[in-house]
Amino acid sequence: MWHAIADWLQKYESIAIWLEGVALVLILFLDWREYRRQGKERAEQHKESADQLAIMQSQADATRENAMRAKEGADAAKANAEAAKLNAVASAAMLELIVNKERARIRVEMKPLDLTFTGIGVNAVEYTVRLYGTSEARVLESGAEVSVDSSLEPDNRNGYMMPAGLPEVLTPVNPVHEKSTFFMSASSLNPVLVDRIRERKAFVHFRGFIKYRDVFDKERETKFLYLWNVTEWVVIGKQGELYSYWAKCGKEGDNIECCPGRAVSCLTQFKSFGTLTICRVGSW
């Protein structure tokens, strides 16, 4: 069989060469067609990749825009919260201003101490309770006492005080009340004790408190502690009489509302400027 095919090819060699050429042309055509098909597929793949990249970029842009909007929303919410906080603070401050303007204040004003010995040992500290403000104050509790101590600093007393005898309600119509507190029996004045006070060997202290409720239903308290400060300065025109005055003193908390400034100790009061003290601290 193979001999027959070989004989045929030898006999028709030109035809075989032609057939071989046709086969080569056909193979080249098929290769070109396959190359074009692959090129088209690659173009389509590139287009799909480009479309996917465009979609991803669009999604990224949308995500960034959403993030920016969320940030703007958060900033707006924060700004609104800050504005609400400022409004609340302003409202509270305005309310406090109104309360402070309208509420009652009770203060104690001292009168000079009379150390003249009466012969019966009955002496008193006289003072004025004054209501400030445009509204009333309802007195809940009050007390006052006077004592003579051997030291500048008063003894720590937390016991009972005699009531100050104030009306139940203090009103702007009748704001001033004159009061007095007698020396305690242990501190009753006698010539020897009066001389010790004038020689700055004994010291008169006056303390007290007034608890009250204002019209805004808030409980408040006025506390006071005074020292009768005897100086070395002679009063002009009065032979032998030394200039003396009541000075607020004590530790923090001994003077409340009646003297908003910082209280100073009685010892400081006595030593400042020699023995004459300008005891005013802050605005009383």
**Cα 176 from Cα 5, distance rounded (Å):** 148
pLDDT at 77: 81
- 206 phi/psi in degrees, rounded to 5: -130, 125
Res. 115: pLDDT tops 90: no
Cβ–Cβ < 8 Å for 193, 202: yes
pLDDT tens for each residue of 62-77: 788 887 887 887 788 8
pLDDT digits 0-9 by tens, 76-110: 888 888 888 887 877 777 777 777 778 899 999 99
β partners of residue 176: 130
CATH classification number, 105-271, choose in 1.25.40, 3.30.70, 3.30.160, 2.60.40: 2.60.40
Q: pLDDT of 199-245, one tens digit each?
A: 889 999 999 999 999 998 999 999 999 999 998 888 887 777 889 99
Q: How confident is the model at residue 262 (pLDDT cuts 50, 70, 90)?
A: very low
d(CA 124, CA 112): 11
Query: pLDDT tens-digit profile of 27-53?
Result: 777 777 777 777 777 777 777 777 777
Q: How confident is the model at residue 186 (pLDDT cuts 50, 70, 90)?
A: low
The predicted pLDDT at position 229 comes to: 92
pLDDT per position as a tens digit, 268-279: 555 544 443 333
Check whether 246 has a pLDDT greater than 80: yes
Question: Could you tell me if 206 and 246 are in contact, meaning their C-beta atoms sit under 8 angstroms apart?
Answer: yes
Does the pLDDT of residue 128 top 60, yes or no?
Answer: yes
**Rounded Cα distance, 130 and 166, in Å:** 11
Question: What pLDDT score was predicted for residue 175?
Answer: 94
Mean pLDDT of the chain: 79
Domain locations in the chain as residue ranges: 1-102, 105-271
Residue with tokens 């035809």: 15
Give the list of residues 6+ apart from residue 122 with CB closer than 8 angstroms, or none: 182, 188
pLDDT over 80 at 185, yes or no: no
Q: At 96, which helix (H) or strand (E)?
A: helix 13-102
Residue 136 and residue 172 in contact, taking contact as beta carbons nearer than 8 Å: yes
